[in-house]
Structure 1
Amino acid sequence: MDLRPHFDELERFADGQMTPAEQEAFELRLEQDEALAEAHAAYEQLTADLRWAAGHNTLRLRLQALDERMNERGDALARTERLTQQRQRRWMTLGVLGAVLLVAMGVGAWYFSRPGPTRPARSWEAYYQPDPGPAVTTGLLHSRPLLSEALDQYQSGHYPAALHSLGRVSAASVGADTLLYLRGLMLLRQGQGTAAQLYLRRVSEDTVAGELARRARYHLGMAHWQANELAPARAALLAVAADSLNLYRTSAQRAIAAGVLEGK
């Protein structure tokens, strides 16, 4: 496979240097242009081989840096928890004193100004049940450090960095369907519902993917909803709501029952 005709744009895509519009156009070409798709697969394999050839010392340094960052995060969480407990104790004292006054004010406000019927929220985020992905365990850190880095960034809300890190993960070590699914999740959380559909649809249509395909169908419906494509969003979520084996069945049923996908 001669990578030279596509090398520059493959490198820009892998490094996350494309604009959202360029990335979306490139991903659509991947689906339609067989030569480009083969070049992309060859490029992914080449970069994976180069990473392996870099040696165990680089891997050790990455693991050490990741372990240090995990330790720092644990210390920060512990400090935050202590500060939270201190604030809770202070506010508890004030809360007891103000409880009676608040109740009286609440009763008065309700009596003189009763609220009308509330309308259901229409935003997809109000009904979305996120998938945090696999937990970053010690075993995963040592067996798949690049995947662990991508998951850690995704679970921390750093979606562009997570997408960049995921692009360095080899499909041979994780599985092509898993990589497609995770990329779709990250794009969805980044607000790129249209781009996320490309990856989630491929997994949802895979008859071998099983549970992963069921998960992908739910998130595909939410990606349509995020892109304001209400008709396909409702069709996808109706299928999820009717699937007794789908983990997201209840969430899909709640969105369908609210009637928010019937049109504005």
Structure 2
Amino acid sequence: MVKKIDFHIHTIPDEQKDNLFSFSMKWLKEYTAKNEIDAIAITNHNLFDEENFNLIKQQLSPIKVFPGIELSLNTGHVNVVANNDSYGLEVIKNIAMQAVELDSRGGLSIDQYLQIEGIKDLIYIFEYGKSKELEIPTDLKDVTATFGVANSMKFSRFRHQFPEKVPVLFSDAHATYEDKDSSRNDLDKLSSKQTFVQVDAPSFAEIKSCLSNPQKVSLNKEFLKDVVSVNGVNVSTGLNLIVGKRGTGKTFFY
């Protein structure tokens, strides 16, 4: 099947980086419903608020909600997303704690970050084409890495230039009605800032695996193969072909 995800949403402002705003669950519900989103990640700047995350997870069900953080390293920014199980939550909470204790404003050094347990089990979204763009550190070459772009044109350009890598387009939204920057909370402006992934279900494991294959990620649902169930058998549109002679029963699927 094909699912739509947005793994870059802010719910708590950072006074050094964001316009101040108050979180609105109503806005988040409207945003996810209007855009028919199947999974999101909460990625606030250098912090993780477990109470806020649990509230969103409960209120948005059955939409999958994953914990994350937009982390400042001293060489640039990267979004990291974890599974929403106890292990994933502990990894994200530990990263957030380290970000505060080791100077979140200046940013963690790569060496400091690499000491945190569980970081290779995450999904990484590296900024591309921005001033805070970060090269993938050598010690993280084997992680699931994607490249966040600002718009559909840059998505297409990136895909043409780097066909072996995976671009993604996410909203970078502020979940509020009161932000002064309309590009961060205007529902119409954000309507095309999500990414389709070819997965059977929007679980963390399936999405993580999918994001390693550029052929399974797109801004257009029609460019991906959908999976349907026929009499309990999963077949994929555009991939499975039923052949046989005339009168052999191709119209029926057993």
TM-score range normalised by the length of the shorter chain: under 0.3
Higher normalized helix content (fraction of residues):
1
Higher normalized strand content (fraction of residues):
2
Larger radius of gyration: 1
- Scaled by the length of structure 2, what TM-score is found? 0.24
Bigger RCO (CA 8 Å, 6+ sep) = 2
- Scaled by the length of structure 1, what TM-score is found? 0.23
